[in-house]
Chain A
Amino acid sequence: MSPLLGIIIGLIVTAVLVYLVYPQKGFLDKWSKGKRDKKKELIEDALKHIYDCEYKGIKCTVHSVGGNLSISNDDAANLLSNLEKMGLIISEPEFVKLSAGGKSYALKVIRVHRLWEKYLADHTSISEEKWHHYAEIKEHDLSPSEVDELAAKLGNPFYDPHGDPIPTADGEILDDNSIPLTSLASGEFAVITHIEDEPDAIYSQIVAINLHRGQQIQLAEKNEKRIKLIAEGDEYVLAPIIANNIAVTKIDEEEEIQSDFKTLSSLKQGEEGVIAGISKAVRGRQRRRLMDLGIVPGSKVTAELFSIGSDPVAYLVRGATVALRRNQTDQIFIKGD
């Protein structure tokens, strides 16, 4: 065999190997995805969609099911008639609604979905805009005992990271008492309680500008074209279509509002600041780790040492020297003086 041919064959074999094992996009992963129970997924997704319609007070039809699940209207009609035979839904002349059994099934699926999102948010580094996608897959393949185990591990949370209530194992679900961001009046203070994760295009815009749940905001200005907020010392200008996907609860003005704060990363060598808080975008283990190190409101910090690329920077906090990276110090707020 001539060496040139050897090199070419080697390159081809390597390329095939990479294609086979590449995570997520590779053949092996796609193949294992292909083995999933499509029928069960369709049933569960349809129930979820109908539940969602009822929750929002919209009437659910064959068209909307077909559109939501990306299947043809004929397939959707077949699917619905199957669901009816299984006793999961009840057909009315103009629309379909869930039976008691169907509702309980839908809530079980939603429970897994929201628990998994909570798990991804608190226990992994998977980025925010991918939570929904992964949960869409996971919701179909956890057994009831695995779900309960997961819930216990997460401390039986009430809300998922988007602020949606998580149904309990018995199918109970908390009422939502938040209001749309657009219903606030100028000057009012509120906390973001919910960010709708669908459609992707709008959700990823909200994630990109770093608005997140638990953030305190003040509505600065509101008109038909735009809505202006102040949060964590920054100004955000949103189109109404985006603002509609954000829900809030009002808070009293007297509560301390985070405003006019600088980030820890803005300290220069030798400068001192007082911690005001850690952004809510820092979650789970990372948040706990920072707090364990003494990064809590009221702690004095001094920027001590700058490493070669000015990242990380070592800070003196409560008598200890701790190095933090810039992507962290950007999320820690200080009261400047």
Chain B
Amino acid sequence: MENKKEALIAESNVMRLKVGENFHDHLIESIYEDAEKIASRAIVKKGKTSTFNLERNIDKIVTSRWFGLPLMFLILAVVFWLTIEGANVPSGMLASLFLDTIHPWLKGLAASIGMVWWLDGLLIDGAYLAMAWVISVMLPPMAIFFPMFTLLEDLGYLPRVAFNMDNLFKRAGAHGKQALTMSMGFGCNAAGVIAARIIDSPRERLIAIITNNFALCNGRWPTQIIIASIFIGSAVPAHLAGLVSAGAVVFIAVLGILFSLAVSWGLSKTVLKGEASTFSLELPPYRPPRILQTLYTSLIDRTIFVLWRAIVFAIPAGLVIWLVGNVTINDISLAEHFINFSNPLGLLLGLNGVILLAYIIAIPANEIVIPTILMLTVMSVGMTGVGEGAGVMFELDSISDTANILQSGGWTLLTGMNLMLFSLLHNPCSTTIYTIYKETGSWKWTIVSTILPVILGVIVCYFTAQVYLLVTG
């Protein structure tokens, strides 16, 4: 028996040598040859169809030297504008339902059954509120953005964008399709990371995943807008305020794109140099989009999927946020202990202890950073008459009230600027981190994509702070 096995292996080795190393090439060639023979017998071609010519003409326009890029920017701008504008109303409705109606009702219910105060706080002010916040700010923009994006994809337009952008991304060592995962990242980084599946080349896919966080996601736009209008807008004459603060937000987003390209370049030249790279980009034919199917897949696969992960992470975060505000040592809450401890480091970076703590406990969702900052500021400054109490996140309707709270927390123009920078350059939210782990299956790359932006953020904030101090004296 053993002998027979040995003999068989020896025989197979002789055969393998005879077949040679080009065996796989020959195999594929002969498969194509056979397929072509069969096809030529079975298929009758009647010249080129008119849809083919139409397609070629559309392709000529969307990839043309003059119209290609402007058309792309126009379409993406419309998508973002529709998302931001369209999400306002449903977000407000959800917020009034979850935060203004259900929350007090739950509090009343808890009081009527005589629930102990800490359990009521932990569950309703902590867990429930964090979850409700995440749903009301995350769901509407995603439910608008993802279907529109999927429609463009289904139509066949997105691969042409990748084709147009490939030259630029090639210079950064990346794949043209990274333009798409990045655009997706403007909606949600977790979705952007999942979208990197469309890149089949291992090295470029990793680059796209690691740098996706530099695309300013939906959860960070509101932070940018409110901080820009409070601090940047007020630093210039009133008639320019709107324009300048909008410009500042766009500047941060563009800075994110530049960081994304620069980091891609750096990664492809160093740590990822050796990873395999196989470029190809198919340009599928245009088709009428399947609207219902698109709606279904983008709502179920993307929106609900991402939202579910966010909720799973938001609930424990809500518990933690409430606990740090209410557990006290020597009559001072954990939050204040940490804020006092980290304040010197925060100030060195042009931020403060409140911001550092907020970014640590609000890892689950960028959306709850501002509510957490407001709560922590009110608590640590000891203000009365605003907010909902220790550990309870809140937001204010009026920007000037928000500005008052922040200014009494000692915020300056520098704090505002650096918060905007840090909001761009910090670790991805826990949903994204978990998604990166799922997609790469590697702790190493998950850690790199988590730590790298924080290091960059600390460096950029530190130098901004020092230069600001140098200039202002």
Contact = CB atoms under 8 A, between A and B. Distances in A.
B29 interface: yes
B2 interface: no
A3 B276 contact: no
A3 B467 CA distance: 7
Interface stretch (A79-87, A97-105, A140-148, A294-302): A294-302
Contacts of A28: none
Interface in A7-33: 7, 10, 14, 17, 22-24
Nearest to A291: B28
Given A159-B21, A291-B28, A294-B32, A10 B164 contact: no
B346 interface: no
Interface stretch (A198-206, A222-230, A314-322): A314-322
A36 to B, nearest CB: 19
A38 interface: no
Given A125-B274, A125-B275, A307-B63, A6 B29 contact: no
B442 interface: no
Nearest to A120: B274
A286 B466 CA distance: 48
A286 B25 CA distance: 13
A4 B468 CA distance: 11
Given A124-B275, A125-B274, A288-B24, A308 B283 contact: no
A328 interface: yes
Interface in A119-166: 120, 123-126, 157-159
A6 B69 contact: no
A305 B279 contact: no
A324 B279 contact: yes
A290 B280 contact: yes
A304 B282 CA distance: 13
A215 B469 CA distance: 64
Most buried by B among A174, A293, A323: A323
Most buried by B among A124, A286, A296, A308: A308
A154 B102 CA distance: 61
A308 B69 contact: yes
A287 B26 CA distance: 13
B277 A125 contact: yes
B28 A7 contact: no
Interface residues of B, number: 53
A328 B63 CA distance: 21
A274 B288 CA distance: 33
A284 B21 CA distance: 12
B29 A296 contact: yes
A3 B166 contact: no
A151 to B, nearest CB: 13
Nearest to B32: A296
Contacts of B463: 7, 10
Contact of B33 (A22, A125, A288, A298): A298
A23 B270 contact: yes
Contact of B466 (A6, A290, A308): A6
Interface in B432-473: 455, 459, 462-463, 465-470
B107 interface: no
Contact of A23 (B24, B163, B271, B283): B271
Most buried by B among A157, A284, A298, A314: A314
- Residues of B contacting A: mostly: helix
A188 B272 CA distance: 43
Given A308-B68, A308-B167, A323-B280, A6 B63 contact: no
B287 interface: no
B274 A124 contact: yes
A15 B376 CA distance: 35
Nearest to B69: A308
Interface string B285-320: 100000000000000000000000000000000000
B259 to A, nearest CB: 16
Most buried by B among A294, A305, A309, A324: A305
A214 B167 contact: no
Nearest to B24: A288
B279 A325 contact: yes
A22 B269 CA distance: 11
Given A305-B60, A322-B281, A325-B170, A314 B273 contact: no
Contact of B282 (A125, A288, A308, A321): A321
A326 B339 CA distance: 55
Contacts of A286: 276-279
B466 A7 contact: yes
A125 B459 contact: no
A308 B200 CA distance: 23
B154 interface: no
Contacts of B465: 6
A312 interface: yes
A188 to B, nearest CB: 21
B32 A126 contact: no
Given A3-B470, A307-B166, A285 B276 contact: yes
B32 A125 contact: no
Interface in B32-58: 32-33, 36, 56
B162 to A, nearest CB: 8
Contacts of B22: 214
Contact of A7 (B16, B21, B275, B470): B470
B126 interface: no
B164 A322 contact: no
A4 B470 contact: yes
B205 interface: no
A211 B176 CA distance: 30
Contacts of B153: none
B431 to A, nearest CB: 27
B203 interface: yes
Interface in B186-234: 200, 202-203
B45 to A, nearest CB: 10
B344 to A, nearest CB: 11
A322 B280 contact: yes
Contact of A305 (B59, B167, B348): B59
B65 interface: yes
Contact of A323 (B65, B281, B466): B281
A196 interface: no
B17 interface: yes
Nearest to A158: B17
Contacts of A214: 21-22
Contacts of B285: 321
Contacts of B16: 158
Interface in B243-270: 270
A237 B275 CA distance: 34
Contact of B176 (A22, A288, A312): A312
A201 B16 CA distance: 34
Nearest to B283: A321
B467 A289 contact: no
5 contacts: A10-B459, A293-B282, A307-B63, A307-B167, A308-B164
- For the complex of A and B, list the 5 residue pairs with the smallest distance between their C-beta atoms, beginning with the closest: A3-B470, A3-B469, A323-B281, A321-B283, A309-B167
Given A307-B166, A323-B163, A328-B279, 6 more contacts: A120-B274, A125-B276, A285-B278, A291-B29, A304-B59, A307-B163
